[in-house]
Amino acid sequence: MKKMILQALLTTFTLLLSLACFSQQTPTDLKIANIALEIRVAGAKANTGQVIGSLFSSKKDYLKEAEFTQSFAIDEHGNANFTFNNLASGTYAVSVIYDENKDGKMNSFLGIPSEAFGFSNNAKGLFGPPPFEKASFQFPHKKVITIQLGKVKD
């Protein structure tokens, strides 16, 4: 009798484990997993340099450790478009650097950036970059972010 009960429990456990491992996603799950965050950047010189875009997922890591970083060439209109795919829902902020000379970094003179930059929500800081709260947004509520490049003097 005990052997039959153990066998039935083992069979039930195996069936439940199989269902959990091989269950299909619902259409809603697939829709959320395929949502992309599109970043549109404007204000660069046509066909000159690149944009380096960074995505931050927390106040703690903001401007320190990006979740993702991508670089893209500037097109003939002075724009760049790029996408972050398969993001989880949450709060994010984006920073972009217009790397005009393609050296892979933000150039500065006496600590003041000499290349253009921008942040999500087109947020600006008073004496430095804007805080995470100003630049952050909810995803997937927002699916397209437009950032206008500017310099410190702008």
Task: Please give the single-letter amino acid code of residue 82.
Answer: F
54-89 tens-digit pLDDT: 999 999 999 999 999 999 999 999 999 999 998 999
- Look up tokens 């006496």; give the residue: 110
Most confident of 22-36, 43-57, 102-116: 43-57
Looking at every residue in the chain, the average pLDDT score rounds to: 82
Q: How far apart are CA 83 and CA 154, in angstroms?
A: 27
pTM for the model stands at 0.76
Q: How far apart are CA 132 and CA 56, in angstroms?
A: 9
Q: How confident is the model at residue 103 (pLDDT cuts 50, 70, 90)?
A: very high
pLDDT of 51 strictly over 50: yes
The pLDDT assigned to 154 comes to 61
CATH topology of domain 31-148: Immunoglobulin-like (2.60.40)
The pLDDT assigned to 35 comes to 77
